[in-house]
Amino acid sequence: MVHLLHNSCKRCLNIFRTHIYYLYRKTFMKKWICLLVSLFLFTVGYAQETDFDDLLASDVNADGIVNILDLVFVASHFGVTFSADQYANPDVNGDGTVNILDLTLVASHFGKYSGIPLELTDKTFDNVVRNAKLPILVEFKSDY
């Protein structure tokens, strides 16, 4: 014998299904929002703790800023073993091998300034004058 639901019972069943679905969505959204807020707070808390030694080590080419050049330099030496005393050492974390940890460390400091570059720009342009192939005419004027 097949039991046919009365129209009011069908309506009640539909309301019940809708209510259960709404509660499920509401709970799911609460959990999702809680997770996102927790991750955001963790990230902000970690981002404010900048270790200056790691920042200096992340600036592999010592140009004063951690940028794509540092990231490419580390990536190009992936898997290579370096000693700690080598200049422009792509082993940023100092474990002896260039690996994903070094790439992650450089990427975490991407865009940050590490300080004054080791080689300052040539303000007197001595290197330009020494390497010139054509004669250079220099004229000095003085009001005194």
Q: Residue 97's beta-bridge partner residues?
A: 81
- Would you state the pLDDT for residue 61? 83
Buried b (16+ CB within 10 A) or exposed e, 35-51: eeeeeeeeeeeeeeeee
Residue with tokens 């490419």: 72
The residue among 87, 34, 39 whose CA lies nearest residue 59 is 87
| pLDDT (average), residues 99-123 | 77
Task: Using alpha carbons only, give the angle 101, 102, 108 rounded to the nearest 5 degrees.
Answer: 85
What does the pLDDT look like over 74-85, one tens digit per residue?
888 888 888 777
The mean pLDDT of the chain is 72
Collapsed DSSP state (helix, strand, coil) of residue 74? helix
Considering only CA atoms, which of 60, 141, 39 is closest in space to residue 106?
A: 60
CATH of domain 52-121: 1.10.1330.10
* Mean pLDDT in residue range 88-110: 87
- Pick from 40-44, 80-84, 123-127 the range whose average pLDDT is largest: 80-84
Q: What is the pLDDT of residues 9-26, one digit of tens each?
A: 666 667 767 766 666 666
Report the distance separating Cα 88 and Cα 55, nearest Å.
Answer: 14
pLDDT of res. 112 = 87
Share of the chain above pLDDT 70, in %: 51
48-55's contacts with Cβ under 8 Å and 24+ in sequence apart are 50/109, 50/112, 54/92, 54/93, 54/105, 54/109, 55/109, 55/112, 55/114
C-alpha angle 68-53-60 in degrees, rounded to nearest 5: 30
Q: Please report which confidence band the pLDDT of residue 60 belongs to, taking 50, 70 and 90 as the band edges.
A: confident
Mean pLDDT of all residues in 31-48: 65
